[in-house]
């Protein structure tokens, strides 16, 4: 019996994905675990792996079309095996797909409202004052997407007399980041504190690792310090959910990595169990996947904290927005040579400013100060690494 290949759950708040490209053709043999297609979510490009072995009998969603979580994308079975009757009338990449993932022809008649439409899209339409009956859906089976609602809203806005510049739509990833930032700014009360850190010990450690063959990144060092502090301050490993607290089973930290205008937040899992070299290697691999658009989609909410490092720029310190579902975010500025009093003597030391933003609903000022103090002790300690 032919096996249906469905779009898996790609993470929190991901309702639909775009099929970017099929990696195999109908009639090709595939094994379990083979990559069938590249799919794009709001957060990343992911690989769709086969859950069955046999021949790719039929692709039901063509490249460029969208599909919802749980929807059948293809069938795999034995060569010549039949597929369900309802799928036999559709066409894959070699032919048209009627009413699936394609923009409908323009019409001045309001389309009937689809029976399947997400609450998020309904709420967005109500907030923007968009009549869903006047919106042409471009999602799977004509489903109305957030982009459709925003496009309809933009088309009805009056054009300023002073300019004729067209409105440029955000990419799916940029739009996802924008929604997350807006949600956090609206719902999360940010508590901010900062501290200056003597990075002398960290610089020594980096030089030692360089002589051994591979200079450990600053990101690895800061992640390790955050993990050490979080181990003794468990509220940083939790999040607010309604009127309750949800605690994480491990120390998972998201790392902000940018590529052009895109911001990625890959999650480094079990940071406390890994040494600096292992963290450095994992960060390098993640950065490489982001550059080649091969980063697998993973919910950012799998982490409870985040690290954002702008130390490569002449930035002393900066504020960051806590990602929804996180307890905090630590930001890092540039290391600067600074006059410092040590044992009554003035010395020139490499100093960096760290700034912590914490969810004040969960973490009070004292807990935040103790956490940042622990980070400082770890970074300045001879036991670092």
Q: What CATH number does the domain containing 203 carry?
A: 3.30.559.10
CATH of the domain at 130: 4.10.320.10
d(CA 373, CA 368): 9
| Closest of 304, 218, 295 to residue 253, by C-alpha | 304
Report residue 87's pLDDT band, with 50, 70 and 90 as the boundaries. Answer: low
Residues pairing with 355 in the sheet = 194, 331
Shared-domain flag, residues 276 and 347: yes
pTM score above 0.85: no
CATH of the domain at 64: 2.40.50.100
- Angle at which helices 146-156 and 119-128 cross, to 10°: 10
Q: What is the mean pLDDT of residues 168-194?
A: 86
Shared-domain flag, residues 83 and 194: no
Report residue 107's pLDDT band, with 50, 70 and 90 as the boundaries. Answer: very low
Report residue 11's pLDDT band, with 50, 70 and 90 as the boundaries. Answer: low
Residue 42: CB atoms within 10 Å: 22
Pair of tokens at residue 190? 């940010």
To the nearest whole percent, how much of the chain has pLDDT over 90? 42
Shared-domain flag, residues 195 and 315: yes
Shared-domain flag, residues 236 and 309: yes
Structural domain of residue 135, as residue ranges? 114-157
Count of structural domains within the chain: 3
**Residue bearing the bigger pLDDT, 209 or 89:** 209
Shared-domain flag, residues 305 and 376: yes
Residue 255: CB atoms within 10 Å: 24
Residue 286 is assigned to a structural domain of this protein: yes
Residue 330 is assigned to a structural domain of this protein: yes
Residue 119 is assigned to a structural domain of this protein: yes
Shared-domain flag, residues 52 and 138: no
Shared-domain flag, residues 266 and 301: yes
């Amino acid at each position: 019996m032919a096996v249906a290949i469905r779009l898996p759950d790609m993470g929190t708040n991901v309702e639909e994905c775009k099929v970017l490209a099929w990696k195999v053709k109908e009639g090709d043999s595939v094994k379990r675990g083979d990559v069938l297609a590249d799919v794009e979510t709001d957060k990343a490009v992911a690989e769709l792996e086969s859950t069955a072995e046999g021949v790719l009998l039929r692709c039901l969603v063509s490249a460029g079309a969208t599909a919802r979580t749980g929807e059948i994308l293809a069938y795999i079975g034995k060569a010549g095996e039949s597929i369900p009757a309802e799928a036999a009338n559709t066409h894959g990449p070699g032919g048209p797909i009627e009413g699936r993932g394609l923009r409908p022809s323009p019409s001045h008649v309001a389309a009937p409202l689809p029976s399947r439409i997400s609450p998020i899209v309904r709420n967005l339409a109500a907030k923007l004052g968009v009549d869903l009956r006047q919106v042409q859906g471009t999602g799977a089976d004509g489903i109305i997407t957030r982009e459709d609602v925003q496009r309809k809203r933009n088309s009805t806005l009056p054009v300023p007399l002073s300019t004729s510049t067209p409105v440029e739509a955000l990419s799916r990833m940029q739009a996802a980041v924008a929604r997350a930032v807006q949600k956090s700014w609206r719902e999360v009360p940010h508590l901010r504190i900062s501290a200056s850190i003597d990075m002398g010990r960290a610089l020594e450690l980096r030089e030692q690792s360089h002589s051994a063959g591979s200079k450990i990144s600053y990101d690895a060092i800061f992640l390790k310090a955050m993990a050490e502090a979080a181990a003794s301050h468990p509220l940083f490993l939790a999040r607010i959910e309604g009127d309750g607290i949800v605690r994480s089973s491990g120390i998972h930290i998201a790392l902000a990595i940018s590529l052009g205008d895109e911001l990625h937040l890959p999650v480094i899992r079990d940071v406390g169990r890994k040494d600096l070299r292992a963290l450095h290697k994992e960060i390098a691999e993640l950065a490489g996947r982001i550059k080649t658009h091969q980063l697998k989609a993973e919910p950012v909410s799998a982490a409870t904290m985040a690290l954002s490092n702008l130390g490569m720029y002449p930035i002393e310190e900066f504020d960051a927005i806590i990602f929804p579902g996180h307890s905090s975010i630590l930001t890092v500025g540039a290391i600067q040579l600074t006059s410092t009093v040590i044992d009554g003597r003035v010395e020139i030391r490499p100093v960096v400013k760290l700034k912590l933003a914490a969810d004040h609903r969960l973490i009070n000022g004292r807990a935040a100060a103790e956490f940042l103090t622990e980070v400082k002790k770890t970074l300045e300690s001879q036991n670092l690494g």
